[in-house]
Amino acid sequence: MSGGLLVAGTTSDAGKSVVTAGICRWLVRQGVKVAPFKAQNMSLNSFVTRDGAEIGRAQAMQAQACRVEPTALMNPVLLKPGGERSSQVVLLGRPVGEMSARGYHGGRQERLLGTVLDSLAELRATHDAVICEGAGSPAEINLRRTDIVNMGIARGAGLPVLVVGDIDRGGVFASFFGTVALLAPEDQALVAGYLVNKFRGDVSLLEPGLDMLHGLTGRRTYGVLPFRHGLGIDEEDGLRVSLRGTVRESAVAPPVGEDVLRVAVCAVPLMSNFTDVDALAAEPGVVVRFVDRPEELADADLVIVPGTRGTVRALQWLRERGLADAIARRAAERRPVLGICGGFQLLGEHIEDDVESRAGHVDGLGLLPVRVRFAREKTLTRPVGTALGERVEGYEIHHGVARVAGGDPFLDGCRVGQTWGTHWHGSLESDGFRRAFLREVAAAAGRRFVPARDTSFAALREEQLDRLGDLIEHHADTDALWRLIESGAPRGLPFIPPGAPA
């Protein structure tokens, strides 16, 4: 059996995803054949594997950190929220239905443990090590009985656990202690120690606290990772777009031309795959911001209506906020608008939806000659094509089937004037196409913006993953970390009362 590790966290957004990716990149640089794994992911940012399976984007990026092709085994359960209380359940890359949170945690989740453990075992059989990522906190005592992503998977597969804490939030020592103290004895026996994330300042000032934590819990700290601007991988939720942060916060080349290009992204409800704009923000001189008011579109050179898990709901939101009228005025003035996936669908004339919103017949914005009908079967593909004279790769994740009845062809959608629409996510990551598109936008906007000739989005991603690997290599005890992965949690770890409640 190969080695393994579960990276858990004291909270959501403690840094589990980036630490997992960093450990993966560090291991692969040592010649280790490694794979990532997250038993259950809740995210609207997803990706399509080459064989047409849908998984979380974070696991796709972690696979890139491992230099392996992502597969459905790396994220066997994906939950895609469709509202406050329900999610679409994607099992081994395929949607199997909608379910309420109560229904899922009331029995369905527990029944998936066998599938999750089988997927992990299959990965471990073909790799030297599998680095697993937890979700939220392992000490969510209300959910422990049905847990399949934190201590449930750790106990089921005998994985040692490393708990990550974000010290930038404060209270990291209490979080570490409390996390362990709320676990059952059998779970505590697998928690090997801690990893401090996002530390600012002199580590020597932290060391007395780490020594006291070791004395209190019998568990060591495996490293203190310093705070670094712009580090991250494709987020599960929120609006922290990793490469956009890098461009804004680090020293980058000035615009090649005389002007910058301003991009406004409508922050629609249930926004999905907002990572599509990372590639734009990676271009010197392109400023990307998320907006929710019509006046914020006034000075934008390009408005993007992104993907969403609720096309009809997003359409209603745009109308209620006055954004729909502002976008329509832009289109009439031949000012650039780009709709991606759900954003493309709502730019059309008509939507028939008895699947996602069950709203039936709904009028779209009428900016593109497109009629959309929602099918129960989800489209999951990795298309390749050409546009603006350049090769384009992308991926599609949607229930809506578009019938295009006019305009100029644009990928799988169309273009009318300066209004563009396509189902293809990720198309802007194709460097040649992105540059050609930005030249069109700049010309239409009257901006003296020139895209850089040497920006490689793939190279920027690799650089980001190497920085994460460097963080582990330089600031974690890698010898101790490898022993943990190879041999499991140390024996004889003490029990910290009170433990999990009955």
- Inter-CA distances, 86 with 98, 308, 361, Å: 7, 15, 23
**Is residue 443 within 8 Å of residue 418, measured between CB atoms?**
no
What b/e readout covers 83-117, taking b as 16+ CB neighbours within 10 angstroms? eeebbbbbebbebeeebeeeebbeebbeebbeebb
Distance CA 73, CA 89 (A): 15
Continuous H helices in 301-445 = 311-321, 323-332, 342-346, 431-445
CA 333/CA 107 separation, integer angstroms: 54
How many alpha carbons fall within 13 Å on the CB side of residue 399? 21
Considering only CA atoms, which of 257, 258, 250 is closest in space to residue 229?
Answer: 250
Smallest CA-to-CA distance from 480 within 188, 294, 219, 147 is with: 219
What is the rounded CA–CA span in Å between residue 421 and residue 429? 16
Burial degree of 266 (CB within 10 A; 0-12, 13-18, 19+): buried
d(CA 387, CA 391): 7
234: left (phi over 0), alpha (psi -120 to 50) or beta: beta
Q: CA-CA distances (angstroms) from residue 92 to 71, 311, 315, 488?
A: 9, 25, 31, 27
Q: Please, what is the Cα angle at 46 between 65 and 142, to 5 degrees?
A: 95
Nearest to 380 by CA among 43, 45, 53: 53
Active site (annotated) includes residue 350: no
The active-site residue out of 127, 398, 399, 425 is: 425
Which two three-digit tokens encode residue 219? 């568990």
Structure tokens at 277: 């704009």
Question: Between the CA of residue 205 and those of 172, 199, 240, 431, what are the distances in Å?
Answer: 14, 11, 30, 46
Task: Verify whether residue 425 is a known catalytic residue.
Answer: yes
Q: Which residue out of 66, 132, 266, 341 is catalytically annotated?
A: 341
Catalytic residues: 341, 425
